[in-house]
Amino acid sequence: MTPSQPAPEFQALLDVAVDAIVIIDHRGVIETFNRAAEKIFGYSAGEIIGENVSRLMPEPYASQHDRYMQRYLTTGVAHIIGTGREIDARRKDSSLFPAWISVGRIEGSDPPRFAGFLHDITLRRRSEEQEKRSTQRLAEVARLSAMADMAADIAHEINQPLAAITNYAQASERLLSLPEPNCTEVREALKQIAAQALRAGTSIRRLREIVSNRRQATIEEQALAGTPEQ
């Protein structure tokens, strides 16, 4: 049986809506499919009216829809009816797109009929993803800048003891080349070389700790964001 067509005034009202409006009966059969729905899904009203609304859904929801509908009619417990949620919807060409849908039961209809209002949020989702990527890139630039500053500081700290080691080593060589080497001064220079080497080692260990901590923080940030480690 072909579903009855809405009154011309009602159809005109449906067709000026910017969101897709789909009306189904208690079996999930599409009765009304407005102009925005045609544009969003790629079906003409003539193609889709009389078909099950599950054709507009991806799996596994398409296969489960009739069971959900029957459960609602039997128990009266609603899951999506009367609420709004984000879903993935399926076009005629089988491509999927993100959408916000709200479904309501049409008051006074017996057997019950339902109206679904669907808004394509592809542009919003794309904008959110671009903003997320931009935020991640800015964070990465900030991390790299901080690492560069830290590397410069550490390089300065390491260069100082290395320069001192070079100076003390050259002084020791000069002292030892004297006809009568001053062993006390040479011994003191060697102590300074050891001290400066320890200082350089401390700076290197601190650099390793900072890099390790930053790496761990990056892993945790990526885990929270749901992105794999690069």
- What pTM, to 2 d.p., does this model score? 0.56
- The domain of 79 spans 8-120
Do 167 and 142 fall into the same domain? yes
| pLDDT > 70? residue 218 | no
Among 65, 87, 120, the domain-final residue is: 120
The domain that holds 35 is classified in CATH as 3.30.450.20
Give the count of domains, the chain: 2
pLDDT, tens digit, for every residue of 26-72? Answer: 999 999 999 999 999 999 999 999 999 999 999 988 888 878 888 87
Residue 106 forms part of a structural domain: yes
Residue 103 forms part of a structural domain: yes
DSSP 52: B
The tokens describing 225, both together, are 């964001």
Residue 214 forms part of a structural domain: yes
Q: Is the CB of residue 68 less than 8 Å from the CB of residue 60?
A: no
Residues 6+ apart with CB under 8 A from 132: 225
pLDDT, tens digit, for every residue of 170-206? Answer: 888 888 888 888 788 888 888 989 988 888 888 788 7
Q: How far lies 128's CA from each of 18, 61, 133, 141, in Å?
A: 22, 25, 9, 20
Among 70, 93, 120, the domain-final residue is: 120
Indicate the SS3 state at residue 131. Answer: helix
pLDDT, tens digit, for every residue of 108-148? Answer: 888 889 999 999 999 988 888 888 888 888 888 887 787 77
